[in-house]
Each structure stands twice: as C-alpha cells, then as structure tokens.
Amino acid sequence: MNARSLALLIGGLFLLAAGTALAFPPRARVYPLGVALAGAFLSLGAWIRAPRDETVGGPGILDVTPYLAWIVGLLLASALIGLPAAAVLFSGAFLRLEAKSPFRVAALGAVAAGLGLLAVGAALSLRWPVALFDVTRALGLS
C-alpha cells in the first residue's frame, strides 16, 4: 500500500467517526467531532505531501509492534473497565514501563490523566460508553 492510499483510508475513517459523532447529544459531540475533523484535515495534508510512489512498510515495520500492543491494550481496557479507569492504568503503566519514569512521576501522571478526563467529562456532560466492569460508574464518578 502506498502512503497516499493509507492517508486517504485514515482520512475516511476520521470522516466516518465525524459522522458518528453528529448523532451524539450536542455538548457530547464537541470533542469527538473536533478530533475527527482535525484528523481528517491532517490526513488530507499527509495525502497532499506524500510522494506518489512511496510505499508504507518495509523491513522495520515490526519495530512498532510493541506500541501497537499498547494502543490495543488501552482499547481492551476501555471496553472492560471504562475509559477513565483505563486511562489511569494505561498512563501509569506506560510512563513506568516505556518511559522508565520514577514511580512517583508515573503515579502523578496517572492521577492527572484520570482527573483530566473526569473534568472534561463533567464540563462537557459526557456520558462515557458503558464498559463490561465499569469502575467509574460503580464509584459514582461518572
């Protein structure tokens, strides 16, 4: 697959996400719609700038596998325990294991991520998607 096709594919996924966000309640659609439109705009820029014959991949493509696993782990944790709780665990684990941050820094980053998500959720009246074992709803935080 060449770089231009990949940019179009990703841009299309962002536009699909933007269309989905339009069905959300008015204040709940602000953030997802903004991210989706920004991603589509950046994908358009990548499509314009990409050489026509550049291919994506190559021998070093597997070097990104651990980072892809982190993203998949965040998505799975979000489905199991909810996004705010998953963000706390993900931030702490990533800072500690990948960034090699001291425990205090990782814990502070995890708490900041959780409080930040809860603050944004409260400010925008977000209803986080229900998870299988929803920790934040059980604690009355969302």
Asked whether the predicted pLDDT for residue 136 surpasses 90, the reply is: no
Q: Of 139 and 90, which is predicted with more confidence?
A: 90
Please give the radius of gyration of the chain, using alpha carbons only, rounded to the nearest integer: 18
Asked whether the predicted pLDDT for residue 59 surpasses 90, the reply is: no
Asked whether the predicted pLDDT for residue 134 surpasses 80, the reply is: no
- Domain residue extents for the chain: 1-56, 60-142
Could you tell me which of 20, 18, 9 has the C-alpha nearest to residue 44?
Answer: 9
Q: 74 vs 5, 35, 94, 123, CA distance in Å?
A: 27, 18, 10, 23
What's phi and psi for 66, nearest 5 deg? -60, -35
List the alpha helices (DSSP H) in 22-64.
30-49
pLDDT of residue 15: 96
Secondary structure letter of residue 123 according to DSSP: H
C-alpha to C-alpha distance for 142 and 104, rounded to whole angstroms? 26
Query: How far is C-alpha 101 from the geometric centre of its chain's CA atoms?
Result: 21
Whole-structure pTM value: 0.62
Asked whether the predicted pLDDT for residue 75 surpasses 80, the reply is: yes
**At residue 100, what is the residue type?**
K
pLDDT of residue 26: 87
pLDDT of residue 142: 64
> Which of 19-28, 101-110, 123-132 tops mean pLDDT?
101-110
pLDDT of residue 52: 79
What's phi and psi for 21, nearest 5 deg? -65, -25
Q: Of 92 and 3, which is predicted with more confidence?
A: 92
C-alpha to C-alpha distance for 136 and 138, rounded to whole angstroms? 5
